[in-house]
A and B are shown apart, each in its own frame.
Chain A
Amino acid sequence: MSAQRPVMARFLAPARAALDIDIGGWHGEHVQGTPGADAWCRVLVQRDDAHSYRARFLAFGPPGVIAAADWLCEQVEQRGLEAALALTAADVEKALALAADERHIGLLVIDALTATGAHLGR
């Protein structure tokens, strides 16, 4: 583990952690956990207008989970929800330079966003 890794920079200062917000008013949200309950991720998405979204997360897990959730929320805001939903676990892995033993993290956050997207607008 190195402080220079993309994971560590985001882990130490996640810009999109859902701190001090009322999550009850958000349009879509879903909690995704790992089978061993060692980590979980909750992604929240709010549609501001037809093309603009805000995304936040809550997470429990190793640094990679928090960093990956933060990166994915950033993608929702920068690319839009539809484009973010097209991302794969491999995209997360590549963007954050995840190690081989962190590959499950990409799946965790992608699954959380996919489920949130399905809930959005219901």
Chain B
Amino acid sequence: MVQAPAPIYLDHAATTPLCAAARDALQACLAAPLGNPSSPHGPGQAAAEWIDAAARRLAGVIGAQPEEIVWTSGATEATNLALRGVAEFAARGHKGAARPAHIISCETEHSATRDTLKALAERGTRITWLGVDEQGRIDLAELDAALDEASDLVSLMHVNNETGLIHDIPAVAEICQRRGVPLHVDACQSLTRLPIDVAATPIALMSMSAHKIGGPPGVGALYVRRRPRVGLAPQIIGGGQQKGRRAGTLATHQIAAFGVAAETAAAERETQQARYRGLSERLWQGLSAIDGVTANHAAGEDRAAPFVNVSVAGVHGEALRAGLAYGAPNIALSGGSACSAARGASSYVLRAMGRTPAAAAASLRLTLGPEIDEAIIDTTIARIAAEITRLRRIAGQA
């Protein structure tokens, strides 16, 4: 019997496989006689020790203090807590008279931010949306001009989840600090991929996810700076856990695995990112040799190393992605983010960057992970080229 070729997984921006160290931590917690971490007895305190250790690990990766970590069910909840929490706190009148909040963000943010801000806008929050250039960059002067006395928050992602574009967070943070406006950073795609130091960079709030860095799904965190502290109304109440910032019994095993995954990935960051830089450049060079393939990712050092995003002319995007996903070898990748793929819509990120709807629809996002090597990259290039040729022949174009 002929064995099917091994599938190729190039969707690490959507989720990463659980790393060995995180799996060990997860299993150790599940096997241990742990209690509720809020309980004062021995089994409860044993669980609390795992959580404290995870907070030290994650805080250590970003230059924070352990007590500045608020555990959540994921980055989407962390972002909801940041945006809704600030808007609600402002609307209560803690910064003068009660008034609608003002939040500044960007058109190419993840839908966790976009949809939350749209929902807040429907309830009166004033939202200023910053546009981007063809590479996906914001204009810092436009950001500066958008800030006013009543601004409550700037929310910006560190690395774009579709194109890998790196926003200049230190420069953004400097502007926000000078204008006295807190900054929320969505660090889902940058945590352990880029250096982040909240001790050196005045970030007020930062969303993080475990399953993007080798941790388990279902757990994330919000970094909440202690001083100066941003006003944040809790969004989940009923129990007072985490000093009232987010109620609910903590998932000890997931949190422990998140901490270990963060520490492990951070320790490997420089080596892995340099490797990804070489591999993604090899991938792009191979794909760019195919007729009709153009780059959507940013050039050079403005792009996070694991990302390649291309549009392909003369093929239907859904057909191309299906052909790659179900032909042999299977290639798991995405068009746009996994979240927008779930809605079946073409990428609003690419359209905001000026791409046509057709180009945005016929896009491929490929993101690298630890198991990817040069042989897999070369197989991927050949497989994509063959699938493009097949579809163009069916359309009578080749």
Report A's interface with B, CB cutoff 8 A.
Answer: 1, 3, 8, 11-12, 14, 17-19, 23, 38-39, 42, 58-63, 66, 101
Interface residues of B in 324-350 (CB under 8 A from A): 325-327, 344
Does B322 lie at the interface of the complex (its beta carbon under 8 Å from any beta carbon of A)?
A: yes
Contact A62 B326, beta carbon cutoff 8 Å: no
Closest chain B CB from A101 CB (angstroms): 8
Bound form: Cα–Cα A14–B393 in Å: 12
| Binary A-proximity of B304-328 (CB < 8 A = 1, otherwise 0) | 0000000000011011001101110
What is the count of residue pairs linking A and B with beta-carbon distances less than 8 angstroms? 45
- Decide if A58 touches B395 in the complex (CB within 8 Å): yes
Q: Are A60 and B395 in contact (CB-based, < 8 A)?
A: yes
Least CB distance from A70 to B in Å reads 9
B322 touches A62 (CB 8 A): yes
Asked if B394 contacts A12 (CB within 8 A), the reply is no
Is the Cβ of B319 less than 8 Å from the Cβ of A66? yes
Instruction: Indicate whether B396 reaches chain A with its CB closer than 8 angstroms.
Output: yes
Q: How many Å lie between the Cα of A84 and that of B55 in the bound state? A: 67
A62 and B362 CA atoms in complex are apart in Å by: 11
**Assembled-state Cα–Cα distance A8/B396 (Å):** 20
In the complex with contacts A1-B322, A11-B319, A66-B394 CB distance below 8 A: yes
A19 touches which one: B322, B325, B326, B393 (CB < 8 A)? B393
* Size class of the contact patch on chain B: 10 to 19
Inside 8 A of A63's CB, which chain B residues have their CB?
318-319, 322-323
Q: Select which of A3, A11, A59 is within 8 A of B395 by beta carbon.
A: A59
Residues of B within 8 A of A (CB): 315-316, 318-319, 322-323, 325-327, 344, 393-396
Are B396 and A62 in contact, with the CB atoms below 8 A?
no
Q: Is there contact, CB below 8 Å, between B318 and A19? A: no
| Shortest Cβ distance from residue A48 to the other chain B in the assembled complex, whole angstroms | 22
Residues of A within 8 A of B394 (CB): 14, 17, 19, 58-60, 66
Contact B395 A8 (CB under 8 A): no
CA A58 – CA B391 in complex, angstroms? 10
Q: In the complex, which residues of chain B have a beta carbon less than 8 angstroms from the beta carbon of A11?
A: 319, 322-323, 326
B344: nearest chain-A partner, CB-CB: A101
Would you list 30 pairs from A and B whose C-beta atoms are within 8 A, ordered by A residue? A1-B325, A1-B326, A3-B326, A8-B322, A8-B326, A11-B322, A11-B323, A11-B326, A12-B323, A12-B327, A17-B393, A17-B394, A18-B396, A19-B393, A38-B316, A42-B396, A58-B396, A60-B315, A60-B316, A60-B394, A60-B395, A61-B316, A61-B319, A62-B316, A62-B318, A62-B319, A63-B322, A63-B323, A66-B319, A66-B394
